[in-house]
Structure 1
């Protein structure tokens, strides 16, 4: 059915009723904030309403709405990355230097020890205090590293898309992800162990 001015309001009302809860659940899963999730869903429906006459039905309405929502989530993390980039954020040179410290001259791990905090890692993400520490560790990453991690793990973007967003090569992207994960692990082990 072609959407026009006459049926746009009714169609939109149906979409809000049919898909609002699913959109909210996804936004909440991605942001861990009820208020942020509500705002993102509201922004999604507002954008969809203004573009509803351009919806051609080539995809399902739910797919189209989720596409808009995912873009809103990415914009939310980009905006936060810019706001927080000067707050306790290390530079890329320092981050490279720090992550180099995990390897010897032959690129082997210097230490194979496993921190006790990972003994029961399956329950860590259910712990609000751990999530707070984890969020702070992510915020300390260099801007590009932060964006790459958020895009890959929170927005489920593909490597090619992230490379395009950051204007980097695929090999550079995988190096950033690898080094970022090393720094996150180190940051969590140092800061979470103080709380556990």
Structure 2
């Protein structure tokens, strides 16, 4: 009877192959970066930085995950670093009291319901129509590109990467109040842009 664990039966991820990364993962990583940054040049730069960082950390790859997952994790960190650097100056201009005043225009003070003028309008969207969904996706993408970088950073981290609000505040050095102001303004801005551009 064999008491020792046979290491040969344990499946490990193959060693990363840096020579194949560009061919295998560049398009995927670029698409991932573009969906969060909306800036082609920055996305290309961060993908290149990801490959370089992965080469420098090659000895740390333990095979616990697929190399695509590992590269994506490195890219996520690069994106967060980019957000952090770009958002530092934008935080100074953010005024919480101004956002509270803005909300008074949108909501009834007594009931908390939308005022008639600012009430969201129905889009008339047929979710089973792929052409309509593609058109809406294009309009949403255009609206996202118009957002200030800090707003896009917070929105992407929250709704695309599904990060906890506390983690976003820590990463971007935001207060909880600033975070909620940004989310509020972003949603109002996106709603207005979609309603304006959707026929």
Which residue is 1:33 aligned to? 39
Q: What TM-score, normalized to structure 1?
A: 0.67
One of 112, 137, 157 as aligned partner of 1:125: 137
Q: 1:126 to 1:20 in 2, by over 3 A?
A: same
The answer to whether the Cα contact below 8 Å between 1:44 and 1:69 also exists between their aligned partners in 2 is yes
Deviation by residue 1:17-64 (Cα, 9 ceiling, x = unmatched): 322222122122322333222211100001111111111222221111
Q: What TM-score, normalized to structure 2?
A: 0.66
Deviation by residue 1:110-164 (Cα, 9 ceiling, x = unmatched): 2274447x4458424314xx7455433x318xx5x66432321344423342244
Unaligned runs of 5+ in 1: none
The answer to whether the Cα contact below 8 Å between 2:94 and 2:178 also exists between their aligned partners in 1 is no
Between Structure 1 and Structure 2, the one with more helix by share is 1
The answer to whether the Cα contact below 8 Å between 2:107 and 2:114 also exists between their aligned partners in 1 is yes
CA RMSD of aligned residues (A): 3.8
Which residue is 1:94 aligned to? 98
One of 53, 56, 59 as aligned partner of 1:50: 56
Aligned length, in residue pairs: 178
| C-alpha distance in structure 1 between counterparts of 2:87 and 2:165, whole Å | 19
Decide which structure has the larger Cα Rg and report it: 2
Unaligned runs of 5+ in 2: 1-11, 126-131
Q: Please list, as runs of the form range in 1=range in 2, the aligned pairs for 1:1-196 lying within 5 A after superposition.
A: 11-82=17-88, 90-106=94-110, 107-111=112-116, 113-115=119-121, 118-119=123-124, 122=133, 123-127=135-139, 131-136=141-146, 138-139=147-148, 147-165=153-171, 166=173, 175-176=180-181, 179-185=184-190, 188=193, 192=196
